[in-house]
Amino acid sequence: MSFARTFLPSPSLTNNLSVKFTVKCQSVDGISGRSEIRLGLPSKGRLASETLDLFKLPNLEVWFQRPKDIVQKLVSGDLDLGIVGLDTLSEYGQGNEDLILVHDALAYGDCRLSLAIPNNGIFENINSVKELAQMPQWTAEKPLRVATGFTYLGPKFLKDNGLQHVAFSTADGALEAAPAMGIADAIVDLVSSGTTLKENNLKEIEGGVLLESQAVMVASKKSLVQRKGLLDITHEILERFEAHLRALDQFTVVANMRGNSAEEVAERILSQPSLSGLQGPTISPVFRKVGGVVTPDYYAIVICVPKKKLYKSVQQLRAIGGSGVLVSPLTYIFDEETPRWRELLSKLGL
Ligand SMILES: Nc1ncnc2c1ncn2[C@@H]1O[C@H](COP(=O)(O)OP(=O)(O)OP(=O)(O)O)[C@@H](O)[C@H]1O
Ligand SMILES: O=P(O)(O)OC[C@H]1O[C@H](OP(=O)(O)OP(=O)(O)O)[C@H](O)[C@@H]1O
Ligand SMILES: [Mg+2]
């Protein structure tokens, strides 16, 4: 029996979250041992705060765990759902069939797991994994020394790529320094902007990307099938993720426009390529009293506009007589049922 690590995150992040702060005994008997649904979220590191931003859900017990512990606790049945990087899921899940991807692209935590070698010395003209494998230097006595925290994916990748003489070492933290320190010849680590590699005079090479990663949502298949209420919560979370991700790159634009009728204003708006919105503009009359008579001589129009087209849209609105343009961010756009839900059901054989 082991004890869960629990953390006290900042209160602003945990508004609306039902979080258990007590240290709890973890059950080892999985499905039958408890009635509440458990979600594991990264307790620290770069995935933690953005994940919390996504989770403002009631009726859910949230446990903050280290990413690799989330994967292990899904497998052991101590968590039902979790959010981790695909790299962590692949490294610690090791193809376990009980781990099921609910959402494979949460659009943050983007990075890749990559092999990197020094820019210079014997590696100066080595630009691909194939060339690395063909170097005469690597022998049984003097293998290619690779430093990595990815002790499952790293060796698997190099073996699959025909590198026979390889020795692995693990290290925590600044792996990138290992080659310059003479501890390793190459590294396998996460790369995002490439800055850390550059600072350490390392380069990526052709064929050297093991995995493209971003934050994903994963569930225990066993729990999904057996635990009452879990499928419904998963459905809701999935819908909210999709709606939120869809909303992230859109703005709502509200503007006033003079016109004789809603149809005439609509004609003008639809003549502009950047103003068609998601399904066309919403147009409502703005009533004013002119000479004692209530008249709709202005119309308020509402459209959704992709962020990158915002300025173009404002220009087009002005060109057709729009004024008083208000722009606000969107939180959710609920569209039709997400295909990911149907995919999940079919993976579960439901
Ligand atoms: N440079 C990066 N840019 C974007 N995402 C990253 C980057 N490095 C890591 N990630 C993603 O964030 C996840 C967590 O990494 P992070 O380094 O924040 O965790 P950590 O808890 O600090 O772990 P560690 O102590 O092993 O570094 C990784 O599994 C990966 O999916
Ligand atoms: O390509 P870049 O944008 O430079 O990012 C890559 C670095 O980011 C991660 O480290 P992190 O910042 O999480 O530090 P740590 O894991 O060593 O704590 C990763 O382990 C790399 O060292
Ligand atoms: Mg880190």
For 24-33, what is each residue's pLDDT tens digit? 334 444 566 7
pTM for this one?
Answer: 0.82
Residue 344 in 3-state DSSP? Answer: helix
Flag whether 221 is in a domain. Answer: yes
Flag whether 348 is in a domain. Answer: no
Flag whether 44 is in a domain. Answer: yes
Residue 154, H or E segment = helix 153-160
ipTM: 0.96
Task: Read off the pLDDT of each residue in 110-125 and give the average, rounded to a whole number.
Answer: 97
Query: Cα of 238 to ligand 3 centre, how many Å?
Result: 27
Flag whether 51 is in a domain. Answer: yes
On whether the CB atoms of residues 74 and 60 are closer than 8 A, the answer is no
Query: Cα of 177 to ligand 2 centre, how many Å?
Result: 12
For 141-177, what is each residue's pLDDT tens digit? 999 999 999 999 999 999 999 999 999 999 777 899 9
Q: Do 131 and 103 share a domain, yes or no?
A: no
Flag whether 144 is in a domain. Answer: yes
Counting ligand 1 atoms within 8 A of each CB, the residue from 41, 46, 66 with the most, and so the one to mutate, is 46
The residue among 125, 123, 120, 115 whose CA lies nearest residue 204 is 115
**Between 2 and 151, residue with greater pLDDT:** 151
| CB 44 less than 6 A from any atom of ligand 1 | yes
* Domain that includes residue 127, residue range: 111-213
pLDDT of residue 8: 31
Q: Do 155 and 218 share a domain, yes or no?
A: no
Residue owning the nearest CA to atom 21 of ligand 1 = 45
| Domain tally, the chain | 3
For 237-274, what is each residue's pLDDT tens digit? 999 889 989 898 899 999 999 989 999 999 999 998 88
Q: What percent of the chain has pLDDT over 90?
A: 67
Give the integer Cα–Cα distance in Å for 168 and 84: 25
DSSP 80: S
Q: Do 208 and 230 share a domain, yes or no?
A: no
Flag whether 234 is in a domain. Answer: yes
What tokens were used for 91? 């490294």
Task: Please report, for residues 228, 250, 251, 259, 299, the alpha-carbon distance to residue 284 in angstroms, rounded to integers and kept in the order given.
Answer: 45, 21, 19, 11, 5
**Domain containing 136 — which CATH number?**
3.40.190.10
